[in-house]
């Protein structure tokens, strides 16, 4: 080992001693980077805007050799330069291949052209109102005169402010619109700094507004500014004008003429069918499947109404979101047969192939800390009835194992598999009463789902589950997403159980009742409010409520049925359940975020059931919860399964949940991010269970029953995929560990829990 270290040190010394400037042309210098960009303050003592300073620095930021831009660091091992200067380069052979792969030509000071870059800096200052600014550069040589860095000096001088603004004469509808838009723009205010980029933004805003008021052919370059710095020295007198030579079409206000939609098949067809509709003419290539009212529902143009670009964008969006076309093109042309200025609209749509098959191979990470590979094969018909309806059938298989084993809270770790078949029929509209608020800008769905799953926990049980659901999904407003499931029927049946599982249920009747074969008829509603208030603040609120069995119970009761009520010979569950989660994101600086989360849930069984079904109960711990504890290792309350009971996993659920998390997220290098977090929470029982003492929710012991943990983590974030590793450190366990005091972990090693997951925890 010592010999290897000596060889490495010797190699480094040899490379460092080799010249990296031996082959430089006479009179040239090796560029070693920008030493500094010195930006002086203006004469009034104000620093130039941060954005402008960044733009100036970026203009002169030329990377030297052996520079890692991601780290903003020039490392001291110029391998490429050493090979270029010292490695022979024959015409062919292995040495030539090595030279071509490793050699890096030197970046010279003459390549950087600092004199040109100072001119670029002058232009940037002029464009931002610093007309008296000056820039210069200095070439700094080190001990080796053949190497040099560059220092740039920027003296911005005083900023020129807009003194007065002269708008267009109010002699036409066009000029009146331009004046009204410009007068309200924050960049067009006397006293603001002159900036050509800002004025360019104003031109674009004016143009976008005009094109939505009938002036379709208007372009930003038709707006011009005349700036006079001599009228009032040190200030700018600004005049807004319309460029001479602007085409007459750009000055004309257009209305919508004839509307024609062509629905083409991708591989041609036999004949065209022309169909008049209330939104224009539909020309459909036959044979093809298309509900005739579908196109008029998507076209927002109206004949003889003012033509707007917004109508083009909305029509394009409404047609595209149907998912049945692979190409949509909208073109307009003047109606030469009409005396009034009108634009005819031609919409060409090409049908996509209706059938789509896909195979997805993925890795999943669930809230219960199960992680593993999975595969889904699906077949979808995107236009089964000619109105964008989607019929899909998917076969899914997963194999999972549980992560997050921690010393004192060792859980029974086992692998499991799940196989599921799901059929779904989705309609791209709400088949529901009109009074339900919805946004036409977004696609709303009515969905019918039929699902069958087989879940195998090898050491415990094999369970089958069947679901039939009818649901609505719609966007009620810009920030509100809503799901209503007026009918969902779930049937669960234990197919096989092991002796271990039978002994668990025999010892705890509450667990046995929650696992029994049963029907679960439900009605559910989910409300999600998601809003980013600005670049630095975001809020997500999700709450849901569901009930099971009440409708069936009321019907049976009205018919005089007493006692336990059954559906198809099997008891059905009756309970109510509600949850709410609030997540708040706050940017501290740069890409540093503070994310907080609070989640509360409660479930209560009554009437036809004495226990909430096991699948509907709450649990905490794991990769997306309290990360210092493995899943189902704490709760309910201060109850803890005996240490010699490896199957206490099933006992640690509850009917009330509280969780709170605080996480600081920060960048490290490139896609690698870090996090520091603190988590707290637990689950409790709303009904007393003698088999789980201390599990009932009580106000006097609530704070003491909260588990507390902290920790740190790494995230590899490449946008479409986030791989996360978290190390949780327990600070307080809600049960008796044999140690007194708030910090009651038996040892530091036993307080650790490691979780590997996909995606952020919240």
Q: What angle do CA 262, 268, 273 make, to 5 degrees?
A: 45
pLDDT of 483 reads 94
Q: Order of strands, edge to edge, in the sheet holding 161-166?
A: 161-166, 235-242, 223-228
Confidence of residue 95 (pLDDT cuts 50, 70, 90): confident
Residues 212, 181 contacting (CB under 8 angstroms): no
User: Is the torsion defined by CA of 78, 81, 85, 91 positive or negative?
Assistant: positive
C-alpha to C-alpha distance for 336 and 339, rounded to whole angstroms: 8
User: Would you state the pLDDT for residue 62?
Assistant: 92
Question: Hey, how many other C-beta atoms are within 10 angstroms of the C-beta on 534?
Answer: 7
DSSP string, 177-206: HHHHHHHH-TTS-TTSBP-HHHHHHHHHHH
- Mean pLDDT, residues 732-749: 91
Q: How high is the pLDDT of residue 4? A: 44
Residue 527: pLDDT over 70: yes
What confidence tens digit (pLDDT) does each residue in 390-414 have? 999 999 988 877 655 444 344 444 5
The pLDDT of 358-384, averaged and rounded, is 74
Is residue 8 very low, low, confident or very high in pLDDT (cuts 50, 70, 90)?
very low
Least confident of 64-68, 433-437, 454-458: 433-437
pLDDT of residue 441: 65
pLDDT in tens, 155-195: 999 999 999 999 999 999 999 999 999 999 999 999 999 99
Q: Which two tokens stand for residue 709?
A: 């943990």
Per DSSP, 167 falls in state -
Percent of the chain with pLDDT over 90: 49
Whether 637 contacts 653, CB under 8 Å: no
Q: What's the rounded Cα separation, in Å, for the pair 396 and 177?
A: 58
Candidates 581, 611, 419; CA nearest to 513 is: 611
Of how many residues is the chain composed? Answer: 762
- Higher pLDDT: 247 or 458? It is 247
Rounded CA-CA distance 316/313 in Å is 5
Measure CA 151 to chain center.
41
pLDDT band per the 50, 70, 90 thresholds, residue 140:
very high
Strand-pair partners of 334: 343
Identify the CA nearest to 687 among candidates 606, 613, 599, 578. 606
| Residue of 534, 620, 529, 609 whose CA lies nearest to 577 | 609
Phi and psi at 250, nearest 5°, equal -70, -25
Range 379-389 average pLDDT = 89
Residues 756 and 369: their CA atoms lie apart, in Å, by 8
One-character DSSP codes across 684-713: EBSS--TTSTT-B--GGGTTTT-EEEEEEE
| pLDDT at residue number 321 | 85
Q: How far apart are CA 198 and CA 178, in angstroms?
A: 16
Q: Strand 707-717 to strand 672-684: parallel, antiparallel, or no bridges (unpaired)? A: antiparallel
First to last CA, the chain: 46
Tens digit of each residue's pLDDT (9 = 90 or more) over 24-74: 888 899 999 999 999 998 887 788 888 899 999 999 999 898 887 666 677
How far, in Å, are 361, 374, 470, 539, 725 from residue 719 at the CA level? 18, 21, 33, 20, 16
Q: Which residues of 390-423 are buried (b: 16+ CB within 10 A; e: fewer)?
A: bbbebebebebebbbbbebbebbeeebebebebe
- Burial pattern 690-712, b for ≥16 Cβ within 10 A else e, equals eebebbbbeeeeeeebbbbbbbe
CA distances from 372 to 363, 366, 367, 369, 422 (A): 5, 9, 13, 10, 20
Give the H/E segment covering residue 156.
none
Contact 114, 137 (CB under 8 A): yes
Band of the pLDDT at 560, cuts 50, 70, 90?
confident
DSSP-derived secondary structure for 137-154? EEEEE-SSTTEEEEEEEE
Q: How many CB atoms lie within 10 A of CB 475?
A: 18
Per-residue confidence (pLDDT) for residue 159, from 0 to 100: 92
Between the CA of residue 691 and those of 24, 540, 575, 657, what are the distances in Å? 84, 38, 22, 19
What Å distances lie between residue 531 and 168, 542, 545, 583, 669, CA to CA?
A: 39, 12, 21, 11, 29
Block residue for tokens 């998912």: 323
**Distance in angstroms (rounded) separating the CA atoms of residues 209 and 203:** 10
Residue 409 has a pLDDT of 40
How many Å apart are CA 714 and CA 727, to the nearest integer? Answer: 9
pLDDT of residue 164: 92
DSSP structure class, residue 491 = E
Per-position DSSP letters for 21-81, written without gaps between them: STTPPTT--EEEEEEEEEEPPPTTSPPPPHHHHHHHHHHT----TTEETTTTEE-S--HHH
pLDDT above 70 covers what percent of the chain? 91
One-character DSSP codes across 293-311 = THHHHH----TTSBP-HHH
Q: Is the separation of the CB atoms in 37 and 56 below 8 Å?
A: yes
User: How does the average pLDDT of the chain come out, rounded?
Assistant: 86
Task: Read off the pLDDT band of 11 (50, 70, 90).
Answer: very low
Higher-pLDDT residue of 418 and 219 is 219
Condensed to tens digits (0 to 9), the pLDDT of residues 99-121 reads: 888 888 899 999 999 999 999 99
The DSSP letter of residue 3 is H
Measured over all CA atoms, what is the biggest interatomic distance in the chain, rounded to whole angstroms?
107
pLDDT tens track for 321-359: 888 898 999 999 999 888 899 999 999 999 888 888 988
Q: How many CA atoms lie within 13 A of 281 on its CB side?
A: 12
**In whole angstroms, what separates CA 450 from the centre of its chain?**
29
Helices (H) and strands (E) in the chain, counts: 13, 31
In terms of phi and psi (left: phi > 0; alpha: psi -120 to 50; beta: otherwise), the region of 413 is beta
Q: What pLDDT band is residue 469 in, cutting at 50, 70 and 90?
A: very high
* Cβ contact 58:126 at 8 Å: no
* The pLDDT of residue 224: 94
Does 719 have pLDDT greater than 80?
A: no
DSSP string, 209-269: HHHTTT-TT--GGGEEEEEESTTTTTEEEEEEEEPTT--GGGGS--EEEEEEEEEE-TT--
**C-alpha dihedral (248, 251, 255, 257), degrees to nearest 10:** 20
Which residue would you say has higher pLDDT here, 661 or 406? 661
Say which range, 82-91, 297-306, 362-371, 435-444, has the weakest mean pLDDT: 362-371
User: In the predicted model, is pLDDT for residue 6 greater than 80?
Assistant: no
**Which of residues 619 and 434 earns the better pLDDT score?**
619
More confident residue, 757 or 227: 227
């Amino acid at each position: 080992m010592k010999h290897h270290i000596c060889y490495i040190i010797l190699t480094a010394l040899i490379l460092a001693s080799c010249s990296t400037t031996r082959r430089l042309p006479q009179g040239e210098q090796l560029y070693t980077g920008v030493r500094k960009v010195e930006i002086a303050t203006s004469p009034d003592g104000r620093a130039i805007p941060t954005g402008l300073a960044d733009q100036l620095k970026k203009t002169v930021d030329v990377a030297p050799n052996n520079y890692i831009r991601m780290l903003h660091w020039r490392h001291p091992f110029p391998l490429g330069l050493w090979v270029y200067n010292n490695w022979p380069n024959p015409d062919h052979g292995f040495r030539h291949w090595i030279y071509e792969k490793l050699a890096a030509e030197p970046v010279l000071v003459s390549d950087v052209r600092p004199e040109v870059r100072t001119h670029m800096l002058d232009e940037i200052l002029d464009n931002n109102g610093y007309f008296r600014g000056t820039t210069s550069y200095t070439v700094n040589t080190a001990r080796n005169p053949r190497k040099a860095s560059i220092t740039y000096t920027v003296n911005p001088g005083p900023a020129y402010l807009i003194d007065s603004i002269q708008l267009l004469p109010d002699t036409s509808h066009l000029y009146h619109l331009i004046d009204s838009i410009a007068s309200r723009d924050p960049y067009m205010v006397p006293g603001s700094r002159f900036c050509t980029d800002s004025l360019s933004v104003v031109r674009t805003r004016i143009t976008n507004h005009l094109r939505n008021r009938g002036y379709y052919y208007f372009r930003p370059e038709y707006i011009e500014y005349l700036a006079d710095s001599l009228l009032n020295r040190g200030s700018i007198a600004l005049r807004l004008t319309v460029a001479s030579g602007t085409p007459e079409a750009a000055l004309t206000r257009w209305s919508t003429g004839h509307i024609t939609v062509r629905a083409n098949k991708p591989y041609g067809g036999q004949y065209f069918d022309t169909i008049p509709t209330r939104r224009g003419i539909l020309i459909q290539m036959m044979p093809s499947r298309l509900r005739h009212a579908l196109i008029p529902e998507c076209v927002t143009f109206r004949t003889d109404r003012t033509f707007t670009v917004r109508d083009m964008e909305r029509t394009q969006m409404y047609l595209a979101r149907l998912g049945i076309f692979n190409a949509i093109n909208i073109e307009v042309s003047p109606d030469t047969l009409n005396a009034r200025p009108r634009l005819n609209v031609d919409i060409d749509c090409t049908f996509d192939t209706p059938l789509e098959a896909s195979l997805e191979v993925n890795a999943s990470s669930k809230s219960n800390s199960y992680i593993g590979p999975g595969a889904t094969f699906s077949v979808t018909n995107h236009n089964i009835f000619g109105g964008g309806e989607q019929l899909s059938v998917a076969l899914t298989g997963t194999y999972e194992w549980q992560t997050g084993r921690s010393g004192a809270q060792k859980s029974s770790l086992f692998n499991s598999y799940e196989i599921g078949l799901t059929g779904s029929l989705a309609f791209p509209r709400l088949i529901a009463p009109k009074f339900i608020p919805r946004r036409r800008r977004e696609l709303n769905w009515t969905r019918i789902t039929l699902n069958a799953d087989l879940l195998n926990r090898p050491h415990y049980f094999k369970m089958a589950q069947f679901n039939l659901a009818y649901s609505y999904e719609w966007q009620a407003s810009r920030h509100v997403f809503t799901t209503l499931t007026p009918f969902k029927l779930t049937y669960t049946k234990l197919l096989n159980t092991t002796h271990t599982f039978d002994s668990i249920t025999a010892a705890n009747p509450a667990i046995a009742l929650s696992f029994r074969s049963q029907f679960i008829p439900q009605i559910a509603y989910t409300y999600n409010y998601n809003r980013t208030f600005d670049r630095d603040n975001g809020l997500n609120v999700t709450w849901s409520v569901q009930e099971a069995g009440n409708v069936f119970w009321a019907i049976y009761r009205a018919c005089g049925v007493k006692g336990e009520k059954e559906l198809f010979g099997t008891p059905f569950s009756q309970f109510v359940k509600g949850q709410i989660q609030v997540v708040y994101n706050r940017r501290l600086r740069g890409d540093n975020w503070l994310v907080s989360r609070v989640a509360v849930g409660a479930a209560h069984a009554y009437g036809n059931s004495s226990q909430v079904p096991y699948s509907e109960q709450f649990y905490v711990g794991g990769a997306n919860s309290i990360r210092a504890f493995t899943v189902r290792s704490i709760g309910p309350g201060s109850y803890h399964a005996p240490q010699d009971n490896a199957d206490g996993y099933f006992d640690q659920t509850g009917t009330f949940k509280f969780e709170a998390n605080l996480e600081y997220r920060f960048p490290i290098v490139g896609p690698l991010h870090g996090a520091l977090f603190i988590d707290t929470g637990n689950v409790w029982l709303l009904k007393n269970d003698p088999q789980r003492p201390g599990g009932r929710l009580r106000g006097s012991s609530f704070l003491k029953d909260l588990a507390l943990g902290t920790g740190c983590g790494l995230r590899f974030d490449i946008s479409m995929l986030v791989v996360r590793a978290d190390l949780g450190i327990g600070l307080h366990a809600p049960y008796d560990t044999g140690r007194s005091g708030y910090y009651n972990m038996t040892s530091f090693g036993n307080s650790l829990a490691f979780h590997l997951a996909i995606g952020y925890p919240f």
